[in-house]
Structure 1
Amino acid sequence: GGVQASSLLFQRLLRDVARSPIGFFERTPVGNLLNHFSKEMDTVDVEIPDKLQALLTYTFGLLEVCLAVMTATPLAIVAILPLMLLYAGFQSLYVATLCQLRRIESASYSSVCSHVAEMFQGSAVVRAFQAQDHFVAQSDALMDMNQRVSFPRLVADRWLAVNLELLGNGLVFVAAMCAVLSKAHLSAGLVGFSVSAALQVTQTLQWVVRSWTDLENSMLSVERVQDYAHTPKEAPWTLPACAARPPWPRGGQIEFRDFGLRHWPELPLAVRGVSFQVHAGEKVGIVGRTGAGKSSLAGGLLRLQEAAEGGVWIDGVPITQVGLHMLRSRITIIPQDPVLIPGSLRMNLDLLQEHSDDAIWAALETVQLKAFVASLPGQLQHECAEHGENLSVGQKQLLCLARALLRNTQILILDEAMAAVDPGTELQMQAALGHWFARCTVLLIAHRLRSVMGCGRVLVMDNGQVVESGSPAQLLGQQGLFYRLAQESGL
């Protein structure tokens, strides 16, 4: 039963986190997630069953001692009941205090985990700026804060031990007094048995209270595991009555109608009043300054963030009437930071094992990586390091392009995909786009205007709105924002 309950709690936690929108991960420190999946789940898996078993063992031991004392010296019941009330009062006060201290300690521990995780992720930058001493001092300060929270818990433990010791000694005194008052009716052996049993009550009472308190504190982990149960979730993964019918989309026509989007409910619109149509098979570039709302359009198309106003239609079907699984499986996106996970190259290219080795080699040949992969030890089974650290940025982007070729979707989004690659890699990607994605609808989001000069149409965004639209030659002739951006980039 305990294993089943723990497994169910873990599955719910994983589902709650996995179904959270992208904004949840932007606001939630990674240390909090690590703490929930490691320390809190370990408490649920290991400590709660052990504490429950210990509580039952010591509780029955305490009942045995009390029954022995009351059987040998019935007068002791008059004093045992008030002592039990005092015991209950001490326990309730201690448990209430310790629960709050445990919450504070867990929060401070999450801060330590977040800082360590972020420091490891940015270790190259920390070393580059020689800021090791600053981060070590910050880590020490967080650890000191965590220890300052732990110290009151130890003080509370000592306070409980002293008071329980007094209660236990009181019970021994009561048993001895009752034996003296009833000496005319009791034998020496019975009196010895009563006092001997009473001497055991101190340790047993301490363990009962400590086991009960530890169990109640451990139950806080169950509460924390369910923290994310009530956070906002994404739209349903599948819909019973989906407006799109396979094969969808057939052409890949995209239409934004008065589209508006905000990143958080309390923030103003990041994109507002955007209306444009992308024809099937059209290559459209989207440019603008940083913060103009270019990537927000891609997020809205994938429903990473829901529209605040207006909507998006693909082949005449509103995307709000399509399940997220179907929508996202029909769109391929290549981000600025290529995503590779630890594992073989084959797994990174075909995670669901839907394609043959021949198809994978053909995709690699298309992006001119076949010779490179063939030279690697293990070839397709070559192990990628975490984040693909054993590959260059250009190679990782070309692998992502090969993955897009294998997916063969009708809509392709390149979100600053060429921003960090060298000119040679950019030419390879442009050639693949012009030839192998000729029938796809392509949205090319870019800072570098050179990347969009080959597009049939370019949208220029500023302050969350589309301010210019047309071919690159037309926009240069208008001498508007696109013209100024071209001058700034040296075109």
Structure 2
Amino acid sequence: MLFFDSTPVGRILTRASSDLSILDFDLPLSIGFVAAGSIELVAAIGVIAFVTWEVLIVAILVMIAVTYIQRYYLASARELIRINGTTKAPVMNYAAETSIGVVTIRAFNMVDGFFKNYLKLVDTDATLFFLCNAATEWLILRIEALQNMTIFASVFILILLPKGYVPPGLAGLFSYAFSITSTQVFWSRWHCNLSNYMISVERIKQFMCIPSEPPATIDDKMPSPSWPSAGRIELQELKIRYRPNAPLVLKGITCTFKEGTRVGVVGRTGSGKSTLIGALFRLVEPAEGKIFIDGLDICSIVLKDLRMKLSIIPQEPTLFRGSVRTNLDPLGLYTDGEIWKALEKCQLKATISSLPNKLDSSVSDEGENWSVGQRELFCLGRVLLKRKRILVLDEATAPIDSATDAILQRIIRQEFSECTVIKVAHRVPTVIDSDMVMVLSYGKLIEYDEPARLMGIESGFSKLVAEHWSSCRKGSSKLLVAINDVIVRFQ
């Protein structure tokens, strides 16, 4: 997951499209032309040396000059090709992101602005493409100049040879001289193209050496089937960084989430809330410190056993192409009765029952035929089926309305009253009813206490609550002013 979080989609698409196309089609063609050109070049040199060996002096000098020009060219051309590979990725990435948000772009009348930005990216890519072709033409002009020099030298040597030494078929010898130089130009051009195409092999090889996650299953590292039985989570000097040389994102967090408690995690943007959840699921491995669940170090077990024992409702609810049943129970572990019971608890039974195919009703790609609130309730239905001792809500109520948020919170309080619930809060009132509140700031734990106590003193949590209600009052006043303006216009 770390690879996809840190790699733009355009960079992946360029490897899978243009670079892979060069590897499959252009590279074999170049190898064939270079091999054929090498054979023709050796044959032409052998024939002309057999007729007049003096021409070899000029041919050797020309080959030395061609080698020097090729090295001079490749030193710049390879870097241009590498830079050109980086300019393609923003174009594809921008096009992919624009196609996803095209409705929002049109709603805010920003089509012209996005089109101008797209043209700038295309111009940047075209500039590098032009420079690559210009460098190739620079090479061809100098090699063709050496070609003309070789032909002139061959003819000049033949003219200066003594009478009687001139072999018959002077025209044939001239054609051989022209053949060797033409072949040399042909071979040099394709040899340089082959060297440039190897940049695509280099770029693809970068994606072949990506560190993988730990293995999914190991027989001798399986926890007990009942783990976790209590749901107690202990963080001991937890430090997280996304790359070996990157700065720490979490800087030594130590605290304990007691079993059966509801813990709210709050903080400003960039404080490390989502990183903490990623560490719990081992999306990011700890740089230092440990995480214990019911006394078991989560880094000592395999990923499948860990992630199958935890439940999460993500910030962006995800549905897959298929049916309602496969989205709620993708592994086919539960009966229809259990699925209907979960749908009833998450307020989706009436909606699904009204559909003709009921549980077999279709779900399109990414659940586009369902609203965001319904997708969030689908995710709630999944965790209701799993019934694990630990539930994580990663800003699950951020994209939904207040009414759906209230339904979600009520169901969680009723159905997960004995579970350990960790809520990463986008709306501060969401964590007011929590047993404990964790306040993060720049990767450090600054407060961890009951919300009532934190509200009674001057704390970071009380400041966040005050800022929230202040912004709500400003938003309400602006809304009232807008409504009054509309009423006045209609009157």
Length-normalised TM-score, structure 1: 0.81
Give the corresponding residue for 1:4: none
Of stretches 241-250 and 328-337 in structure 1, the one that deviates more from structure 2 is: 241-250
Question: What are the residue-to-residue correspondences of 1:297-446 with 2, within 5 Å?
Answer: 297-355=276-334, 359-376=338-355, 379-380=358-359, 382-438=361-417, 440-446=419-425
Name the residue aligned to 1:15: none
2 CA distance for matches of 1:475 and 1:158?
71
Residue 264 of structure 2: aligned partner:
286
Identity of aligned residues (%): 32
Q: Is the 8 A contact 1:70 1:76 kept in 2?
A: yes
Note the 1:48-63 alignment, pairs <5 A. 48-63=27-42
What displacement does 1:286 show? 0.6
Moved more, 121-130 or 331-340: 121-130
Which range is displaced more, 377-386 or 313-322?
377-386
Change (3 A) 1:78 1:435: same
Per-residue CA deviation, residues 276-302 of structure 1 (Å, 9 max, x unaligned), is: 2321xx141314343454434322211
**Structure 1 position 217, deviation (Å):** 0.9
Following the alignment from structure 1 to structure 2, what is the Cα–Cα distance between the partners of residues 465 and 204? 71
Alpha carbons of 1:378 and 1:78: their partners in 2 closer, same or farther (altered >3 Å)? farther
**Whole-Å Cα distance in 2 between the matches of residues 351 and 363 of structure 1?**
15
What is residue 14 of structure 1 aligned with on the other side?
none
Q: Which of 58, 61, 73 in structure 2 is aligned with 1:79?
A: 58
> Which amino acid in the other structure matches residue 256 of structure 2?
F
Tell me the distance in 2 between the aligned counterparts of 1:473 and 1:28: 42
Per-residue Cα deviation, 1:57-95 (whole angstroms, up to 9, x for no partner): 222222232223223333322322222222222222222
Cα gap change, 1:96 to 1:346, in 2 (>3 Å) = farther
- Aligned residue pairs total 465
Separation in structure 1 between the aligned mates of residue 302 and residue 257 of structure 2, nearest angstrom: 22
In the alignment, the residues of structure 2 paired with residue 56 and residue 356 of structure 1 have an alpha-carbon distance, to the nearest angstrom, of 64
Among 193, 199, 209, which residue is 1:220 paired with? 199
Q: Which residue of 2 aligns with 1:13?
A: none
Distance in 2, Cα, partners of 1:422 & 1:321: 40
Q: CA deviation at 1:187?
A: 5.7
2:447 is aligned to 467
Structure 2 residue identity aligned to 1:66:
I
Please state how far the C-alpha of 1:318 moved relative to its aligned partner: 1.0
The corresponding residue for 1:153 is 132
Is 1:194 aligned to residue 173 of structure 2? yes
1:38 to 1:344, Cα distance in 2 relative to 1, 3 A: farther
Distance 2:73 2:389 in 1: 63
Answer whether contact 1:271 1:296 (CA < 8 A) is retained. Answer: no
Q: Is the 8 A contact 1:338 1:396 kept in 2?
A: yes
Structure-1 residue corresponding to 2:257: 277
Can you list the C-alpha shifts for 1:231-272, whole angstroms capped at 9, x where unaligned?
Answer: 776555556753734443333322223444456665455454
- Whether contact under 8 Å (2:222, 2:302) holds in the other structure is no
TM-score when normalising by structure 2: 0.81
Residue 304 of structure 1: CA displacement?
Answer: 2.7
CA contact (8 A) 2:241 2:249 kept: yes
SS in 2 for 1:414: strand
1:276 counterpart SS class: strand
Q: Hey, what does 1:252 align to over in structure 2?
A: 231
**2:436 — aligned with what?**
458
Alignment partner, residue 36 of structure 1: 15
SS of equivalent to 1:312:
strand
Distance of 2:382 and 2:319 partners within structure 1: 11
- Structure 2 unaligned regions, length at least 5: 473-491
- Letter of the structure 1 residue corresponding to residue 206 of structure 2: D
Q: Could you report, residue by residue, the CA deviation over 1:462-486 in whole angstroms, capped at 9, with x for unpaired residues? A: 533262433x667667796666666
Give 1:404 shift. Answer: 2.2
Q: Cα offset for 1:413?
A: 0.6
Give yes or no for contact 1:460–1:481 (8 Å, CA) kept in 2: no
1:35 Cα deviation from its structure 2 partner = 1.7
2:147 aligned with 1:168: yes
Asked if the contact 1:287–1:447 (Cα under 8 Å) also holds between the matched residues in 2, the reply is no
Aligned to 1:140: 119
* 2:131 is the counterpart of 1:131: no
